[in-house]
Amino acid sequence: AKRDGRNAYRFFTSEMQAQSARALQLENGLRRALERRQLSLHYQPQFALDDDGQSRVVGAEALLRWQHPELGWVSPAEFIPIAESSGLILPIGEWVLREALSQLRRWDAAGLPALTMAVNLSAVQFRHDDLPELVGRVLEAVGMPAERLELELTEGAAMDDPTMAITVMNELHARGVGLSIDDFGTGHSSLSYLKRFRVGKLKIDQSFVRDLTDDAEDRAIVDAVIRMAGALGLQTLAEGVETEGQLAFLRRQGCHAVQGYLFSRPLPAEAFAEFVVARASA
Ligand code: C2E
Ligand code: CA
Ligand code: CA
Ligand code: CA
């Protein structure tokens, strides 16, 4: 819109103008955010639900945070789409991968149990030719075995171009990297593709978890996803678990793992390590 000249703007309402001005400000800010060290990662613990009714931390999901000098904290839900449309998601995504795996090394060195690191992948990164090699390169540079990394791809991104998705998943799988389908249930996967996707885990979207205790339909959906995953040999992780009632239902249905505010919000690296240590000695 920058080059359209003054007249193009006369059709904009002031609200649209404010929105596009913010989008431009974010895009320009994002260009410098990496070098200015405004990006950081928070980590949310992921828990395995054991048969004895216990739960233990088995992994962390890395979640991007951006502190803008004037706007304060900007939500990834707002800036990731801008990073995608501008192509900035490629350098940012590479930084996320490197930083998350380096953090995992630091936790290993500090004596934390060997956790899995889950890293979100954008569809733009996934479509990029270089992805499997890039992932291999970063793992090697950091000195982390591929098995410790789990890449999260949204169901929508996988179904965008399922044939391409299968090729990339096969390459990542061959390298030993774990894959999970994020936001499962929101992206219309066809079951025939699900069988061919090289994934080990389905992450049940939080929109189905939210009303589990009052909504019989959501219970039926979650139950069906867990059964289907079981039949296909896939693990399940429910996201957005906030209450004991939700947890009890998920446990009863045989869901393998959970994450959510009931256990912990995403935390800075230091606080995450303290959380894991405190829980291990509790
Ligand atoms: P997502 O991958 O589905 O991540 C889960 C989101 O739910 C996170 O929001 C997390 O903070 C939030 N959450 C976790 N537990 C609960 C809960 O119990 N209740 C509720 N209401 N929310 C919970 P966040 O951190 O704002 O991230 C939003 C989205 O931004 C992510 O959704 C993901 O799609 C994207 N994102 C974040 N970091 C990255 C990244 O490094 N790369 C890419 N490509 N996308 C990212
Ligand atoms: Ca995710
Ligand atoms: Ca998700
Ligand atoms: Ca999501």
Kindly identify the ligand whose nearest atom is closest to the C-alpha of 205.
3
When comparing pLDDT for 190 and 69, which is higher? 69
**pLDDT tens digits, 192-203:** 888 889 899 999
| Distance from the alpha carbon of residue 35 to the mean position of ligand 2, in angstroms | 25
pLDDT of 5 over the 60 cut: no
| Distance from the alpha carbon of residue 60 to the mean position of ligand 1, in angstroms | 12
pLDDT of 7 over the 80 cut: no
pLDDT of 84 over the 70 cut: yes
| Distance from the alpha carbon of residue 240 to the mean position of ligand 4, in angstroms | 10
Q: Indicate the pTM of the whole model.
A: 0.94
Supply the pLDDT for residue 2.
46
Give the rounded percent of residues in the chain with a pLDDT score beyond 70: 96
| Distance from the alpha carbon of residue 184 to the mean position of ligand 3, in angstroms | 8
Least confident of 8-12, 49-53, 159-163: 8-12
- Give the integer Cα–Cα distance in Å for 42 and 64: 6
Does the ipTM exceed 0.90? Answer: yes
- Give the integer Cα–Cα distance in Å for 28 and 213: 44
Q: What is the mean pLDDT of residues 106-134?
A: 96
Q: Which residues line ligand 1 (CB under 6 A)?
A: 44, 63-64, 75-77, 80, 96, 120-122, 182-183, 206, 239-242, 260-261, 266
Q: What is the mean pLDDT of residues 103-131?
A: 96
**pLDDT tens digits, 194-236:** 888 989 999 999 999 999 999 999 999 999 999 999 999 999 9
Residue 135 CB neighbours (<10 A): 23
